[in-house]
Amino acid sequence: MEAMSSAAGSSLTKIVAPARSFRGSLTVPGDKSISHRYALLAGLAEGTSRITNFSTGQDPHSSLACMEAMGASSKVNGRVTEITGTAGVLHPPSGLLDCGNSGSTMRMLAGLIAPHAGDFTMIGDASLTVRPMERIRKPLMTMGARIDLTDGHAPMTIHGGPLHAVDFEAPIASAQVKTAIIFAGLQAQGTTSLLEAVRTRDHSEHALRAFGAKLTRTGERLSIAGGQRLHAIDAAVPGDMSSAAFFLCAALLFADSNVVLDGLGMNPTRSALLDVITALGGTIKVLDVGEQHGEMAGTIQVNLGPRGLTGIDISGSLSAQLIDELPVLAAIGPYTRDGITIRDAKELRVKESDRIALVVKNLRAMGAEVVEHEDGMDIPGGQTLRGGVIDSGLDHRITMAFAIAALRAEGPTEILGAEAAAVSFPEFFDYLDELAIR
């Protein structure tokens, strides 16, 4: 990193210089998805949970703050976050529940709140306010919930009350929608079941079981009985695979790279990224692995294999499994030999930004040839990128993806709105400097 300066408004610009190699070891922050779920469930549970390595990102702390506003409490002792729950009763807050930039908070919390008496209004920042929330309201309303939206978006007001079980078939592959339904089902009358045609990440199932709930899965159908109570746990959050993705991709950019990631979450529903890294020419060695509360974690070593950086076509269920990692995979696409093609990823357009449009815009700003599609993009390989000015759209994954692309560019790259990285990975630029050999 050569400089940091103020850009328009409160935005920060990071200047990322090219690197000669990428080597070193690190422990990435606690998994954001798991931290969200532990915060929500610990806040509802009876007793005090002790969570080690809770995510340092802003989003899970939005979940924690919302639970505190409804009666939970928390304090930090070193690396341990202690969360004292409400013993199953959430109280209407004195003000608004601010979800910040976190769609995960708003969607999952809706299911947790809906069975509780009172009115709860959730708000978010400008980005969150334009993200789709109807996908949450529809299934919860079939369970008896009363929810108000504005043209399908936040603010979201929940008029809480008793819910009844439903049999629901998920129309889209979304772990957040699934979680909202099973969190509501946990507190509904009867047994709620969810048919999931495309298997999504299963952190919610593992977390619920850790807190004492019983769930069953038969094929594609997940079921949970209502009326269950949760109890506090002691747990350690594994390292975040989505955060690690940036360094896994950086390791593919240099022939002599060598990266070791410690304590990394290796949940099988998140491991598709490791398969893609291997398909792109990476070599991955698992040095150790263990398990706690159903979540796998271990140490891996990654470098570029003898085939070099090849290419890949990503579509279908793989796109859904990699939805958070697609921006950084696309950002290194020009450096591959055979290119990267992405399809069936229209969900990227309704994330913190329109990630398809921003990836295409920024690749072109670095001199790349790229073809945009409604549900993805075609990125030819064998291209040379030059340093350019990157519009992050204040989207954390766009910010970090193009910091990785900048490592192989010709000349320095300016990233506008680089403070967005703190949403999920406040330490990102420090770690990038530690591992980039210049």
Do 38 and 167 have their domain in common?
yes
Pairing of the two strands 295-304 and 258-265: antiparallel
Q: What is the dihedral of CA 182, 188, 191, 193, to 10 degrees?
A: -30
Core vs surface per residue 268-302: b (16+ CB within 10 A) or e: eebebbbebbeebbbbbeeeeeeeebebbbbbbeb
In a domain, 150, yes or no: yes
Give the pLDDT confidence score for residue 383 in this predicted structure: 98
Q: Are residues 408 and 329 in the same domain?
A: yes
Query: Over the stretch 72-122, which tens digit does the pLDDT of each residue have?
Result: 999 999 999 999 999 999 999 999 999 999 999 999 999 999 999 999 999
Indicate if 324 belongs to the active site: yes
The domain boundary residue, chosen from 205, 235, 265 = 235
Contacts of 279-286 spanning 24+ positions with Cβ under 8 A: 279/310, 279/312, 280/252, 280/309, 280/310, 280/311, 280/312, 280/336, 281/252, 281/305, 281/307, 281/308, 281/309, 281/310, 282/248, 282/251, 282/252
Q: Could you tell me which residues are beta bridge partners of residue 301?
A: 260, 285
CA angle in degrees (0–180, nearest 5) for 159-162-168: 95
Task: Please tell me whether residues 169 and 38 are part of one structural domain.
Answer: yes
Decide if 157 is inside a domain: yes
- Strands (DSSP E) found in 161-255: 167-169, 191-195, 215-218, 221-225, 234-236
**Catalytic site residue from 324, 338, 378, 430:** 324
Whole-angstrom distance, CA of residue 55 vs CA of residue 47: 21
pLDDT value, residue 7: 36
Domain membership of residue 284 (yes or no) is no
Whether 221 and 366 map to the same domain: the answer is no
Q: Look-up: residue for tokens 């020419």?
A: 281
What pLDDT was estimated at residue 5?
A: 34
Q: Which domain holds residue 117?
A: 32-235
Between CA 347 and CA 252 the distance in angstroms is: 26
**3-state class (DSSP) for residue 118:** strand
77, 14: one domain: no
Instruction: Give, as one character, the DSSP assignment of residue 231.
Output: B
Measure CA of the first residue to CA of the last residue in the chain; give whole Å: 10
SS3 165: coil
CA distance 105 to 110: 8
Tally of domains within the chain: 2
Residue 173 has a pLDDT of 78
Q: Tens digit of pLDDT for each residue in 140-155? A: 999 999 999 999 999 9
Same domain, residue pair 39 and 91: yes
Q: Tokens representing 336?
A: 């591959």
What single-letter DSSP state applies at residue 270? G
**How high is the pLDDT of residue 199?**
82
- 42 part of a folded domain: yes
pLDDT of residue 200: 86
- In the predicted model, residues of the chain with pLDDT beneath 70 are 1-10
Return the sign of the alpha-carbon dihedral for residues 144, 150, 152, 157: negative
Q: What is the pLDDT of residue 2?
A: 37
Do 221 and 370 reside in the same domain of the chain?
A: no
pTM of the model: 0.91
Give the separation between CA 319 and CA 124, rounded to whole angstroms. Answer: 27
Residues 214 and 67 in one domain: yes
Residues 14 and 149 in one domain: no
Return the number of other C-beta atoms located less than 10 Å from residue 219's C-beta.
7
pLDDT of residue 11: 81
* Residue 131 and residue 14 share a domain: no
- CA-wise closest residue to 366 among 395, 397, 332: 332
